[in-house]
Each structure stands twice: as structure tokens, then as C-alpha cells.
Amino acid sequence: MRIAGLTNEATGILKGKEFIIKKFPFKVGRNSSHISDAIFVNNDLCIDDVVPYNVSKNHMSINFHDNHLYILDRGSSLGTIVNGKQIGGQVSNYKINLNPGENIVIIGSEASPYQFKITL
């Protein structure tokens, strides 16, 4: 499984490279400058978001269970958009399977600069 940025911001987070995801769950969330937050945050990909935030501290994860890969929104404020469908945020559904091939994942609102392509 590979993840690549679709926007300048997302590409910058990955340092301009495609990243291979080898462990699950693969947790994504916002970086925090508060040392007290460190005990509650355990992310594999940390995003330096700024106010108004799109990314929650514990935003989402990519998971593998029962031979299925899926995205789990971890209780984010704005949710996650996967292939055009929102999970989390104001929606009661918090989990969605990834499709074979390419998947578009937007962390936060539709206007979020944190847009990624996840390829299975």
C-alpha cells in the first residue's frame, strides 16, 4: 500500500515522495506543540496544521482486518472524505473500506489542503 500527496501541502508532508505503508493501524493526526498532548497522541504521520484546523490530533487510521483495508475516523471534528464519501465528523458512519487501485482521501473538510492518494 502506498500513499502520495495530491496537493502541495500533502506532498510537503511526505517530503515529495510516495510513502509505503507497512504497518497497521497506520495512524494520522495533527502535530501538537504542547508536551502534555504527547501522552495522548501516537501517530505515524503527523501533520503541521494551523488554525482553523482541518486535522484533529487523533484524526484517522488505515487498518487491515479480516483481509480488508479500511479507513477509520478516530473521532475527528471535521471528518474524513474517502472517495467522495464522508466518515466521522457530523456523520454517524466512521469506517469505510478502501477500493482496489486508487483511493482519494481528504483529511478534514472538502476544502482541506491535506488530500492524498492511497493505492492498494
List the chain domain ranges: 2-119
In the prediction, which pLDDT does 94 show? 97
pLDDT digits (tens, 9 = 90+) for 29-56: 998 765 555 556 689 999 999 999 999 9
Q: Which residues contact 77 (CB under 8 A, 6 or more apart)?
A: 53, 56, 89
C-alpha 12: how far from its chain's center?
Answer: 15
Cell of 41: 497522541
Closest CA to 109 of 80, 73, 75, 85: 80
Model pTM score = 0.92
In the prediction, which pLDDT does 36 show? 53
In the prediction, which pLDDT does 58 show? 93
Cell of 7: 496537493
Q: Specify whether domain 2-119 bears CATH 2.60.200.20.
A: yes
- Give the whole-angstrom CA distance, residue 44 versus residue 37: 15
pLDDT digits (tens, 9 = 90+) for 40-99: 668 999 999 999 999 999 999 999 999 999 999 999 999 999 999 999 999 999 999 999
